[in-house]
Structure 1
Amino acid sequence: MSSVFSVRSGARTGWWRGRTRLAGLLAAALVTAAAVPVGLHMRSASAAEYPGPGAVSGNITVHDPSMVKGPDGTYLLAATAPGIALRTSTDRTKFTYSGLAFPNGASWTDEYTGTSNGNLWAPDLSYQGGKYLLYYAASSFGKNKSAIFLATSTTGKPGSFTNQGKVYSTTTSSDHNAIDPNLIIDRSGKWWLSLGSFWTGIKMIQLDPSTGKQLSSNKTVYSIASRASGSTAIEGPAIIYHAGYYFLFTSWDACCQGTSSTYKIKVGRSKTITGPYKDRAGTLLTAGGGTQILGTHGTIVGPGGQSLIQDGDGDVLVYHYYDGADNGTAKLGINRLTWDSSVWPVVS
């Protein structure tokens, strides 16, 4: 199994207002070079305080980042924006803005964004079979009339991505939302896409490896995580395999509100890809379970929108946060992900 796994953005009305405001902010921030790197801190699994983001520099004003390492060793990072914003790095530390996956817009998504060249959300990057796979979502604000699309490229360069069409969609009568895609290939080689935001939570569908789209012989929509009661703010699934378990990471609560954001990252695990996933206390993720591994600390506000990359030096957590020392600007966070003696992830 290789590559990366991705996430995204959430109380329902507050979330959608944040998404609307985010559209303008991202368009203005595409080529903004950001901030002073924050030093890497270490902690044990039982420590009370969370670590700061690892040192990153350059163009790091991002939202919903997903990263993959290409065959030449260059890292390619995709983030929410009209046209999907791309950045590159040779060392996973300094990032350079390179352009848009779709510099001429993505007119095939207009039906779902409700506008021309609207924001495309929560991209998921991986590298499979000699090409980059880019899953991404389009949606109308405040509605679950949404769709996940796939594009491919052999180079990963701006403008090189070819639209492969719709993968999965939902309507306003659906009980879930087709955004926040994340590709995971299980230990037997089967392809799966986790997805979902608010409504009844996180779902999973099986994909056809030959097309990257939903498998025609299995149309089952598996439920793998949800909030038990009250708020439905759970989204941005990202799954990684480690030591006999599939680990499902999700973002909870309010995204996209600057220093008022309450995003946090929670996790559960399962022996099988479709669940049942349970948290550290044994609570099912479909019953509101989830062990928190990262949340607001100091000037690092609302971390979430996570993805995961299994790199040569170990597992890496990629996410965005809001910088309380820089007017709540959304920035890139990268930390190592280690594992304790009970095989639970620790952000380091």
Structure 2
Amino acid sequence: MTLRRTLTAVATAALVALLPNAAQAAETYPDPRPVTGQQIIHDPTVIRLKSGGYVAYSTGGVIRARLSQDGRHWDDAGNAFTEPPSWWYEYNDTGDPWAPDISYRAGRYWLYYAVSSWGTNHSAIGVATSPSGLPGTWTDHGKVFSSGTTDHWNAIDPALIKADGRLWMSFGSYWTGIRMVELDERTGKAVPGATVHHLATRPDVPYAVEGPYIVKHGRHYYLFASYDACCSGVNSTYKIKVGRSTDIKGPYVDSTGTPMLEGGGDLVLEGHGRFIGTGGQSVFKDRGEDWLAYHYYDAEDEGTPKLGLNKLSWQKNGWPNVR
């Protein structure tokens, strides 16, 4: 029995080494950091401001804003814009923006967002800039990139990353999954005639993967994405998966070597306990540490979408997990 137990332990350890996130998937996920104040949010993007404190923007309102001094207590801070720019109405009747992404570059803050309607890829991504990153200070600069009903991608859920001296924007939702284009650093808009790179998809219709976010760690780029269905309260099946590549353009593969273009992806976080449908994620850096921001649907509050924050740790083999 002793030898058998020893061999079993060795085999289990070897499997865990090969499939680092599989072990976590079988365990109980850590709950998000406790937060207070205004917790309701959807598709959060968070940044630590140069002036101190944090701002979070999200789907809802005219890009809903929340402010925090400590990352734990959040206050409602109105909207990024006082009213929707007129061009938004080309893509929906209500001027309703989705899934913003905030970053800091060239001495100012950049806010990317999408305008679309449910169930169509007649969509566009826009950009605004601000000297402070605070709500009410944004100047809109119009369309960055768009998609139409004849395209095989959907121009929503933007996220930026600078790699090898070039600026890139990943995006995508359903249709054929996650895509990426190069941006002009000066304008923040798509390079004219830019190649649309394909990063991830699912083998089955409706190709339920969206909300990309790419992070550089070590020599790899890590593509986080939301899989399955959001926006159904406690019936949501959203979960966060990840793959990696040494080239920003891919191919991205999971820890088994399965390409994300073939449905691959290691599970990072899924629903557990009261925290249902974890997704709509982004990653932000705070004092040298990486944090995963996302929404979940609170099973103890009628499925209300709320802010989830977990620290990302990086294992010796390079793969991330949540703490």
If the length of structure 1 is used for normalisation, what is the TM-score? Answer: 0.84
Q: Percent identity?
A: 48
Q: Corresponding residue for 1:86?
A: 65
Partner amino acid, structure 2, of 1:315:
D
Q: State how 1:275-314 maps to structure 2 within 5 Å.
A: 275-314=250-289
Distance 2:320 2:121 in 1: 32
Q: State how 1:7-22 maps to structure 2 within 5 Å.
A: none
Q: Does 1:210 align with 2:200?
A: no
Question: Which has the higher Rg, Structure 1 or Structure 2?
Answer: 2
Q: Does 1:193 align with 2:172?
A: no
Residues 253 and 265, structure 2, Cα contact 8 Å, conserved in 1: yes
State the 1:331 CA deviation: 0.2
Residues 65 and 135, structure 2, Cα contact 8 Å, conserved in 1: yes
Unaligned runs of 5+ in 1: 1-43
Residues 268 and 285, structure 1, Cα contact 8 Å, conserved in 2: yes
State the 1:262 CA deviation: 0.3
Residues 252 and 266, structure 1, Cα contact 8 Å, conserved in 2: yes
Q: Find the residue that maps to 1:286 and give its secondary structure.
A: helix
1:281-317: CA deviations, max 9, x gaps? 1000011111111001111100000000122141100
1:103-136: CA deviations, max 9, x gaps? 12222100011x14x3200000011122110000
Q: Does 1:107 align with 2:86?
A: yes
Correspondent of 1:121 among 87, 91, 98: 98
Residues 148 and 178, structure 1, Cα contact 8 Å, conserved in 2: yes
Partner amino acid, structure 1, of 2:89:
D
State the 1:230 CA deviation: 3.8
Q: State how 1:214-233 maps to structure 2 within 5 Å.
A: 214-216=190-192, 219-233=194-208
Q: State how 1:1-348 maps to structure 2 within 5 Å.
A: 46-47=23-24, 48-113=27-92, 115-116=93-94, 118-186=95-163, 188-216=164-192, 219-348=194-323
Residues 295 and 306, structure 2, Cα contact 8 Å, conserved in 1: yes
Distance 2:98 2:289 in 1: 27
Distance 2:197 2:185 in 1: 18
Q: Find the residue that maps to 1:301 and give its secondary structure.
A: strand
Name the structure, 1 or 2, with higher relative contact order (CA <8 Å, separation 6+).
1
Q: Find the residue that maps to 1:81 and give its secondary structure.
A: coil
State the 1:338 CA deviation: 0.1
Q: Find the residue that maps to 1:140 and give its secondary structure.
A: coil
Q: Find the residue that maps to 2:90 and give its secondary structure.
A: helix
Q: 1:133 to 1:222 in 2, by over 3 A?
A: same
State the 1:195 CA deviation: 0.3
Partner amino acid, structure 1, of 2:35:
V
Q: Corresponding residue for 1:36?
A: none
Distance 1:283 1:137 in 2: 30
If the length of structure 2 is used for normalisation, what is the TM-score? Answer: 0.91
Residues 268 and 280, structure 1, Cα contact 8 Å, conserved in 2: yes
1:63-90: CA deviations, max 9, x gaps? 0000111112221110001310011111
Partner amino acid, structure 2, of 1:206:
E
Distance 1:148 1:125 in 2: 13
Residues 83 and 106, structure 1, Cα contact 8 Å, conserved in 2: no
Residues 82 and 105, structure 1, Cα contact 8 Å, conserved in 2: no
1:18-68: CA deviations, max 9, x gaps? xxxxxxxxxxxxxxxxxxxxxxxxxx9634111110111111100000011
Partner amino acid, structure 2, of 1:338:
S
